Amino acid sequence: MWNNYRYFDDNHDHMDAIELFDINGDGKPELITGQSDVGASACNAQTREMLWRNMADHTQQIAAGLILNGMKTPQVVANGRS
């Protein structure tokens, strides 16, 4: 069970998409989420520590990986409803 109330006290938010991918290179997957009010966020999947968050309007799809040609670090792509 995942509860993000510790980060967002107005917790009527919900996750529309999740992805597990090692985006920081530590060899362990992070939990990447697309959420209705929060946008895109990344958390340590083991400790639940929030790594980053970017606001977006009702993020419904999320993808993480080596997406862009020529880039040596992973990227996260989000798609919002609006």
The total of other beta-carbon atoms located within 10 Å of residue 28's CB is 11
Please determine, for residue 67, whether its predicted confidence score (pLDDT) is greater than 80. yes
Please determine, for residue 11, whether its predicted confidence score (pLDDT) is greater than 60. no
Percent of the chain with pLDDT over 90: 41
Please determine, for residue 9, whether its predicted confidence score (pLDDT) is greater than 80. no
- Number of domains forming the structure of the chain: 1
Q: Is the residue at 26 inside a domain?
A: yes
The confidence score (pLDDT) of residue 6 equals 64
Domain that holds residue 40: 15-63
The confidence score (pLDDT) of residue 12 equals 56
Q: Is the residue at 77 inside a domain?
A: no
Mean of the pLDDT values across residues 9-32? 84
Please determine, for residue 29, whether its predicted confidence score (pLDDT) is greater than 70. yes
Contact 17, 59 (CB under 8 A): yes
This prediction's pTM: 0.78
Q: Is the residue at 9 inside a domain?
A: no
Distance between CA atoms of residues 4 and 72, nearest Å: 31
The rounded Cα 74 to chain-centroid distance in angstroms is 13
